[in-house]
Amino acid sequence: MNSPNLKPKIGIVSGVGPLAGSYVLAKVFEHAATVYGAVEDCEYPDVIFVSHGIEGVDNIGTLSDAFEKEIVSMVKQAEAQGATIIGIACNTAHAYLDKIKNKPKTILVNLIDTVAYKASKHNVKYLLLTSNGSKQQKLYHPYLKKYGVNFVETSEEMQDALDSTIGLVMAHKLDEAGRVIERVLSEAETKGSRAIIAGCTELPIAINHCKNKSNTKIIDSSQVLAECLVKSYYQQLNPGGER
């Protein structure tokens, strides 16, 4: 067992938008309980949650100098507070991943790489759902190619609906967001898509508010991030342990 001073800490960078980060936080505690058997308060991971609104960050994931500066700053803030495993609860923000210089022993999760790897475990063709910013930057493309994942992108009309969904989640209009994303999933099924990558951390929140649940297989980027953070935490807490 590590000494208290060396106990690992999870850092979650949120605020882009904040509901997505809080969703990841909830999934961290859920995964710690259901998979790692956490019951008592001391058995759950220590978490540092940094949520800071960034001027100019919108529902379509527009990139900007301010976006880059604040993402880098928030990661540094989490690390300065003792985070040893850090995840950014925003797919689009990973456009700045190579700008972040963390300490050698700090784990900075590459969410998009982790999601692509998870998707590769199933031999299906995915419909890739992201913010418009992520789509324009083709953030997922090299990682999906790296792992041999078969995927298609959204139509222009479908992308408009996704961007609307993201904005509704950011505005906490969750039932309305659920109705919009439900139409997207229904259209995807009609066109033969039986699996999707929810490559924006607002989208799983909307999907959870669908009244009619789809049978489509969903790779939830927020869930994937939470699982990776928790696994890394317990590996640091108990090096060499079986999990």
pLDDT tens-place string over residues 146-166: 999 999 999 999 999 999 999
CB-CB contact of 116 with 226 (8 Å): no
pTM above 0.75, yes or no: yes
- CATH 3.40.50.1860 residue ranges in the chain? 4-110+223-237, 113-222
Q: What is the pLDDT of residues 71-123, one digit of tens each?
A: 999 999 999 999 999 999 999 999 999 999 989 999 999 999 999 999 999 99
pLDDT band at 188 (very low <50, low <70, confident <90, very high): confident
Question: Is pLDDT of 2 > 50?
Answer: no
Question: Is pLDDT of 5 > 60?
Answer: no
Fold for 4-110+223-237, please state it: Rossmann fold (3.40.50)
Q: What are phi and psi of 87, to 5 degrees?
A: -125, 140
Fold for 113-222, please state it: Rossmann fold (3.40.50)
Q: Quote the pLDDT of residue 142.
A: 98
